[in-house]
Amino acid sequence: MEIGMLKLLGLLLVIMSVAPLLNFKMFSKAMKEVEKLYIVEMLISLFRVVLGLVIVLFFNVWTGPMVLVTVVGWLSLGVGVAGLLLPHQIMDVLPMLSKRPTTVKLLLVMVLALGLSMSYLGFCPM
């Protein structure tokens, strides 16, 4: 079951990073629209909290490749809680990011690399 979470998160991160990289203009427009909608950030934050809690409570393993899943879970939980407690501060970051497309692309490539690594470890266990 633990390897299944590695596969799931790996594929999810790959899809979530490749789609915006391939459609960056549309993604940029969507980011600018989200900047205006606090409710969207609140819902995304709530999703992050739920995902983070599921991972932390059921897959909190600090050995082997499952460390990646645990770290993603804690990051998701932390960012989600921050988004719920500090929505204005989190929303202030979005306009700064939309003015720096190179930074956004670099972050997406980093997420892609993490997703590919997790997928590889999940589908090709040692």
User: Is residue 123 domain-resident?
Assistant: no
User: Is residue 122 domain-resident?
Assistant: no
20 is in which domain, residue-wise?
Answer: 1-117
The pLDDT tens digits of the residues spanning 61-102 come to 999 889 999 999 999 999 999 999 988 887 788 778 878 989
User: Is residue 52 domain-resident?
Assistant: yes
User: Is residue 126 domain-resident?
Assistant: no
83 CB neighbour count, 10 Å cutoff: 21
* Global pTM value: 0.86
User: Is residue 88 domain-resident?
Assistant: yes
Detail the DSSP E strand segments found in the chain: none
Q: For residue 70, what is the enclosing H or E element?
A: helix 66-85
pLDDT at 1: 60
Please choose, from the candidates 10, 25, 45, the residue with its C-alpha nearest in 3D space to the C-alpha of residue 125: 10
User: Is residue 125 domain-resident?
Assistant: no
Total domains in the chain come to 1
Q: Using CA atoms, how far apart are residues 34 and 50, in angstroms rounded to an integer?
A: 21
User: Is residue 102 domain-resident?
Assistant: yes
The pLDDT tens digits of the residues spanning 15-62 come to 999 999 999 999 888 888 877 788 888 899 999 999 999 999 999 999
Residue recorded with tokens 């983070």: 52
User: Is residue 47 domain-resident?
Assistant: yes
